[in-house]
């Protein structure tokens, strides 16, 4: 089994894998990763909820220096504003040209790094909504 970047970040859904966030039963605040206490109203009444699979690039950067835990410089990271209104940190992959702020993206699960021993780490990333799907499947 490949190593997971972190337990409990995503789950299966009818549309494919989706990020799992928490939603406060008291005030409706959403958070990712899941929280056990609402940071807005302090309620412990939190349910786990699937997040939107689609979103827009809020901002991104191309990391141009070697980062041992990733081992594929240069690579893209960004914040994605999900369609349900919350922003999440993410890798961005399969962009032939740099995205724009506001580019539409879709969630995927896949390799995002390596352990110190060189084993693949399974994490998550967003790919372009248009044009990225085929590239993603080919690889």
* Residues at the contact surface with another protein, assessed by CB under 8 A: 5-6, 9, 29, 31-33, 39-40, 58-65, 67, 69-70, 75, 77-79, 81, 85-91, 101, 112-113, 121, 123
Beta strand 120-128 with 87-92: parallel, antiparallel or unpaired?
parallel
Between 13 and 61, CB nearer to another protein: 61
Virtual torsion, Cα 11, 115, 78, 52, nearest 10 deg: 0
Tokens found for residue 73: 């410089």
Between 114 and 133, CB nearer to another protein: 114
In the complex, the smallest distance separating the C-beta of residue 129 from another protein, rounded to whole angstroms, is 19
In the complex, the smallest distance separating the C-beta of residue 135 from another protein, rounded to whole angstroms, is 20
In the complex, the smallest distance separating the C-beta of residue 14 from another protein, rounded to whole angstroms, is 26
Between 24 and 53, CB nearer to another protein: 24
Q: Residue 80, class by beta-carbon neighbours within 10 Å (0-12 exposed, 13-18 middle, 19+ buried)?
A: buried
Between 14 and 18, CB nearer to another protein: 18
């Amino acid at each position: 089994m490949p190593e997971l970047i972190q337990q409990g970040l995503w789950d299966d859904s009818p549309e494919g894998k989706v990020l799992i966030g928490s939603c406060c039963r008291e005030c409706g605040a959403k958070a990712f990763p899941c929280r056990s206490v609402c940071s807005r109203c302090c309620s412990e009444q939190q349910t786990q909820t699937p997040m939107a699979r689609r979103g827009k690039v809020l901002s991104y950067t191309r990391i141009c220096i070697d980062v041992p835990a990733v081992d594929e410089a240069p690579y893209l990271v960004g914040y994605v504003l999900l369609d349900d209104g919350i922003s999440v940190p993410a890798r961005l992959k399969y962009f032939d040209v740099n995205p724009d702020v506001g580019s539409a993206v879709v969630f995927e699960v896949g390799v995002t790094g390596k352990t110190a021993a060189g084993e693949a780490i399974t994490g998550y990333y967003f790919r372009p909504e248009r044009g990225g799907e085929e590239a993603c499947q080919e690889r």
